[in-house]
Structure 1
Amino acid sequence: MTDPTTRALRLLGLFQTRALWTSEELAARLGVTTRSIRRDVERLRELGYPVRASSGVGGGYQLGAGGSLPPLLLAQDEAVAIAVCLRLAAGGTVAGVSESAVRTLAKLDQVLPAGAREQVAAIHSTTVTVGAARAVVDPEVLMATSRACRDRVHATIDYVDRQGRGSQRRVEPHALVAVTDRWYLLAFDLDRDDWRSFRLDRVRRVTVGTLRNQPREVPDPASYITRSVSQSPYRYVATARVRASGDRVRERVPPLAGDVTDLGDGWCRLVTGGETLDHLAAELVMLGTDVEVLDPPELVEHLEVVKRRLLSPAGPR
């Protein structure tokens, strides 16, 4: 006869495969008496699982909704199906669930059997997502960095920068940030002794260590990543007052393109970067409203140049 703990787990698994069971059906499945089934049901209730009982014709036991989610007992094909769906969601194919999908996928990856892991990798490698162009992130990189952030341990990453130069970086991962269609890692770079952001689609490999991260004052992940993506890589960074609400400007300027702050007087402040002054001038004009450029002085002067171009004899009279 199986021990009560094993039997209770098997009973919980049966409740998850069908809505309603009679005590006789459960007893037959588990090879025990209906009296043992009643004791096992009480044991599950003591552990916090809301097992409901109904009498009469069509009555029996069923697992109800409770205050917390019970452990899911999955067959291998079920685990593979969930992992594949989570990978698609983590890639941004399901709106609003990317970050939760990554956390759940990291938990599932820890206990997934080797055979199931190979099935998931095979399905993912042969799946094509049709839609907006996305920066493709290796799922193994995504899961490894997620675990390193969760466990607060050191990691070593092989990274390729925007110029195509490769390097190995020793980091203390802190947070993953999903911005539009890209994933970023906020981490403390041990070799540069400062915080850095890393695009995950440029990470070729992650080795997660066991050394714990040092206690540090951590910048706000969303603000840091937005600022580093929209300003740091560019030759010019413009600051301007825009006569519009922050929400209206955010509809035109995505997070990867600029940082928008409401000023509360019908204006907002926009900070954005560009490789050329012409690019910044065009971006500001396309806002379709009044703009006051505060910085840099080169952009203020360049706008006068653009104005003269448009009013030149070759332009409209």
Structure 2
Amino acid sequence: MTDTPARLLNLLSLLQTPREWPGSELAERLDVSQRTIRRDIDRLRDLGYPVEATRGSVGGYRLVAGAAMPPLLLDDEEAVAIAVGLRAGAGHAIEGIEEASVRALAKLEQVLPSRLRHRVTTLQAATIPLTRGDGATIDPRTLTVIAGTVTARERLRFAYRAGDGSESRRQVEPYRLVSTGRRWYLVAYDLGREDWRTFRVDRVAEPFATGARFTPREVPSGDDAMELLRHSMSRRQPEHELDVSFAAPASYVAARLPEPLGSPVATGDETCRLRARAADSVEWLALRLALVDCEFTVHGPAALRDYVTDLATRLTRATS
């Protein structure tokens, strides 16, 4: 094999399997001399791939963990498996990995051959998730198109259906995608309204990257995307002064609450308290508190306390 780039890719593909390769076997596989293999190993190291060599009669080469993540070479089956997993994670807003899933999916689908992209779409369309969150599912392509325009600072056009069912066409300068754990939101500057807006991504249709670049505007009052989203949601529904005590460590509770609710403060080794502003329904707040899976006490607001009391009564009645 005289084509050096092709030979390096084949060598890298072999080394990415979890085993140690004797130099003689690599040379035989690639139909080159062991001296060429040694030179190619040095080239891979220069590119950032940590290849470890062991000496002796049973020595050889293997790829090990390094200080940084080098590019990976995937075969067709591996690429399809990863894309399907990322689409599932992004489309159902899996809490904690949602933004990373979208970024990785956008990068992968950008270089995925059309034959593999068709396989991914077909496989996903033919399967149904066993579990789902309490938020709406989203076409992963919608997320990747939006994520691409955010990264490239490119204007975006789309059709939008508001909460009252009215439909409109929007052209925006996308700023950030934000996941609340059950829904995705797009924070953007709406060119038609000449103001900042937030859009529920599950209500976005036909997203189209226009190709027109823009210089990012200054966010109002220096707020970040999450603050803009909180402000927008507080205008749509009443904001609650949440005050809840938990019979569990603060780290345990924080890991099970959506980020927008904030972080609880430890009041003891096994107790903590959460005081936060929450612009959401008392029904959803009650559900999220119950999913923390520990004893808790609602100090306020009164509407949430009353709803939790009523819900507990109904659940007790259901079991009897």
The change in CA–CA distance for 1:211 and 1:238 in structure 2 (over 3 A counts) is: closer
The change in CA–CA distance for 1:267 and 1:10 in structure 2 (over 3 A counts) is: closer
1:89, distance to aligned residue in structure 2 (A) = 1.7
Structure 1 residue runs of 5 or longer lacking an equivalent are: 276-285, 294-317
Structure with max Cα Rg? 1
1:204, distance to aligned residue in structure 2 (A) = 1.2
1:101, distance to aligned residue in structure 2 (A) = 0.7
Aligned length: 279
Per-residue CA deviation, residues 120-170 of structure 1 (Å, 9 max, x unaligned), is 111111221233343011111011001011111101011111111111100
1:261, distance to aligned residue in structure 2 (A) = 9.5
Query: How does 1:131-210 map onto structure 2 within 5 Å?
Result: 131=131, 132-210=133-211
Counterpart Cα distance in 1 of 2:274 and 2:14? 60
- Residue of structure 2 in register with 1:52 after alignment: 52
Counterpart Cα distance in 1 of 2:66 and 2:262? 42
- Residue of structure 1 in register with 2:235 after alignment: 232
Per-residue CA deviation, residues 70-125 of structure 1 (Å, 9 max, x unaligned), is 22111111110010011122234754211101100000010001111111111111
The change in CA–CA distance for 1:19 and 1:228 in structure 2 (over 3 A counts) is: same
Does residue 37 in structure 1 map to residue 37 in structure 2?
yes
1:2, distance to aligned residue in structure 2 (A) = 2.1
The change in CA–CA distance for 1:142 and 1:26 in structure 2 (over 3 A counts) is: same
- Of residues 208-217 and 193-202 in structure 1, the stretch that sits farther from structure 2 once superposed is 208-217
TM-score norm. by structure 2 comes to: 0.76
The change in CA–CA distance for 1:228 and 1:24 in structure 2 (over 3 A counts) is: same
Counterpart Cα distance in 2 of 1:66 and 1:83? 24
The change in CA–CA distance for 1:89 and 1:260 in structure 2 (over 3 A counts) is: closer
The change in CA–CA distance for 1:38 and 1:147 in structure 2 (over 3 A counts) is: same
The change in CA–CA distance for 1:214 and 1:25 in structure 2 (over 3 A counts) is: same
Counterpart Cα distance in 2 of 1:186 and 1:5? 43
- Residue of structure 1 in register with 2:6 after alignment: 6
Aligned amino acid, residue 270 of structure 1: R
1:291, distance to aligned residue in structure 2 (A) = 5.9
Aligned amino acid, residue 43 of structure 1: R
Structure 2 residue runs of 5 or longer lacking an equivalent are: 266-272, 283-295, 304-320
Counterpart Cα distance in 2 of 1:120 and 1:223? 36
Counterpart Cα distance in 2 of 1:269 and 1:97? 23
Query: How does 1:271-282 map onto structure 2 within 5 Å?
Result: 272=279
The change in CA–CA distance for 1:57 and 1:162 in structure 2 (over 3 A counts) is: same
Aligned amino acid, residue 217 of structure 2: R
**Is residue 226–residue 259 contact of structure 1 (8 Å, CA) maintained in 2?**
no
Q: Secondary structure at the match of 1:5?
A: helix
Query: How does 1:21-36 map onto structure 2 within 5 Å?
Result: 21-36=21-36
Aligned amino acid, residue 56 of structure 2: G
Counterpart Cα distance in 1 of 2:88 and 2:199? 21
Aligned amino acid, residue 112 of structure 1: L
Identical amino acids, percent of aligned pairs: 39
1:4, distance to aligned residue in structure 2 (A) = 2.5
TM-score norm. by structure 1 comes to: 0.76
Q: Secondary structure at the match of 2:6?
A: helix
**Is residue 159–residue 167 contact of structure 2 (8 Å, CA) maintained in 1?**
yes
- Residue of structure 1 in register with 2:68 after alignment: 68
1:274, distance to aligned residue in structure 2 (A) = 6.6
- Residue of structure 1 in register with 2:309 after alignment: none
What's the Cα RMSD here?
3.5
